[in-house]
Amino acid sequence: MDYGELVQVYEALGATPAKLEKTQILAELFRRIPPHLLPIIPHLITGDIFPEQEMELGIGPGLLYNAVSFVTGVGKGEIEDIIREEGDTGRAVKRLFERRPQKTLYTETLTVERVHEIFTSIARSKGSGAQDRKIKYLAELFSSATPLEAMYLVRTVLSELRVGVAEGLLRDAIALAFEVDVKAVERAFMLTNDLGLVAKVARESGEEGLRRLTVTVGRPLRPMLAQAAPSLEEALKEGDEVAVEIKYDGARVQIHKKGKDVRIFSRRLEDVTEALPDVAGYALASIGAGEAIVDGEAVAVDPETKRPRPFQEILRRFRRKYDIQQTAQEIPFETHIFDILYKDGELLIDRPFRERRKMLEALLKEEKGRFMLAKQLVTGDIKEAERFYHDALSMGHEGVMVKNLDARYVIGSRVGYMYKVKPVAETLDLVIIGAIWGEGKRRGWLSSYYLGARDELGEFRYVGRVATGVTEEQLEEYTRLLKPLIEFQDGKEVRLMPEVVVEVGYQEIQRSPKYDSGFALRFPRLIRLRDDKSPAEADTIERVEELYRKQGASKKDG
């Protein structure tokens, strides 16, 4: 299939804001493409390229501009000037390619298969010389691309396709294309985390095939997430009796055991097993099953006080590639397991939580201070729950989780029957989409950050700018993280690839015509880096609006 044909689909999708029309366009595409492309096309449509747990391109703007410069003969300085003029990297590259003589630009017709093959080669390029190989592969792609194709190749590389297609719309399109129940598509995606696989099975085997799809030990699943409750009393309305558990200030881990092999996945579905050999060892010894998938939280603890250490210490462990054993001794982890999704061939997510907890208790051989069940109280008494809550806080934890004992585990959803209760005001997880170079003492650092929330189609909209709550050490860290993500600079301001998630506090949310989200944070402050979260997990504009309405209601109540 010619890549140009897919590009025309991108153009049609971008030209209409109507969800129904987008769904029809995608359904028609899925019906007509060759079967071997069905596992590939859905990922290219979202700009992800691969199922999210598999591979990443690892290409920032710098490498991209080197490849464009190589193909066009235009220096990086001029490329950045044109990007600044256009305000869009893809359009800027299209403009550069339109200046090229056709006879030197088009060497062969670019196909979808070739695009995916080269992207795969780029993602697999590791070690010495990897950057040069990636530039070579990109240059090969661009050499065969038309100006419009080059624009979308660039947008794909930068994860900014801008065609207004989110996962929900793709699920609807697969259901429409192959005349299957959208709920069957939803569940199949939930269990496999791979829309390409789901589309292929829907075409080949229909609903019956979709219903046969299940989890695979070793392939991570998106975690179930909790909603925030305004108070413990409100959370306890969930039932006559609820499970109250400590809300640990750690990092979510999903642990897969198959025989003697243990794999650990982060909340972002990254395989972090090599960085956490101690956790893997305790999991192997403690999980009494041939195959299992369990859900938990890894907490960094002070060896002397046994109190939780700052979240940044956890990130040090997760990022570590060298001196891993030494770092594990310096920053020991306690892992607290609170749910089970799968055991020895049986999918458990549809069982009520009370049953899953009993199975977990029978399954787990605890290693005190290292690998344990999450501490839990089953009660309907507010006074008992409050004592448990205050005990959790006194131990240095964030608060408590309140769970409905009859609830199932819904993969990848923020559910209405599991609540988090914390004493601090509600915060937002936002993506840094721009920054400003500092002056004076902050010179040389990106020190003021533009914040974005996701809209319903996955694009990021401005909600404010934060410059407080950051130490000099953190300024250095943030600059190191953000500098490779700079797409272009205009004066002291830079625009960034949307990759870094931060937790942000604020005094108030206001309506604002200044920002394209329609909202602005009043007196925002940066609390911490959320390296455990992907941009896809950042808070949405819908969530910002919900908090805006809640604060209005609380003012009226006051």
Q: What whole-number distance in Å separates Cα of residue 157 and Cα of residue 465?
A: 26
Q: What whole-number distance in Å separates Cα of residue 285 and Cα of residue 294?
A: 14
Exposure letters 446-463 (e unless 16+ CB within 10 A, then b): bbbbbbbbbbeebbbbbb
Q: What whole-number distance in Å separates Cα of residue 188 and Cα of residue 193?
A: 8
DSSP H helices in 471-536: 472-482
Task: Provide DSSP, 415-458.
Answer: EEEEEEE-SSPP-EEEEEEEEEEB-GGGBTSEEEEEEEEE-TTS
The DSSP element (H or E) to which 496 belongs, if any, is strand 493-496
Half-sphere exposure of 194 (CA within 13 A, CB side): 22
Active site residue 103: no
Q: What whole-number distance in Å separates Cα of residue 257 and Cα of residue 343?
A: 9
Angle (deg, nearest 10), helices 182-192 and 167-178: 130
CB burial of residue 512 (10 Å; 0-12, 13-18, 19+)? middle
**What spatial distance separates the first Cα and last Cα of the chain, rounded to whole Å?**
62
Tokens 């661009």 map to which residue?
Answer: 142
Q: Exactly one of 94, 134, 247, 422 is catalytic; which is it?
A: 247
Q: What are phi and psi of 540, to 5 degrees?
A: -100, 165
Angle (deg, nearest 10), helices 61-72 and 89-98: 10
* CA neighbor of 528 nearest in space, from 501, 547, 495: 501
Q: Retrieve residue 42's tokens.
A: 């859905």
Q: What whole-number distance in Å separates Cα of residue 550 and Cα of residue 380?
A: 26
Q: What whole-number distance in Å separates Cα of residue 7 and Cα of residue 153?
A: 9
Active site residues: 247
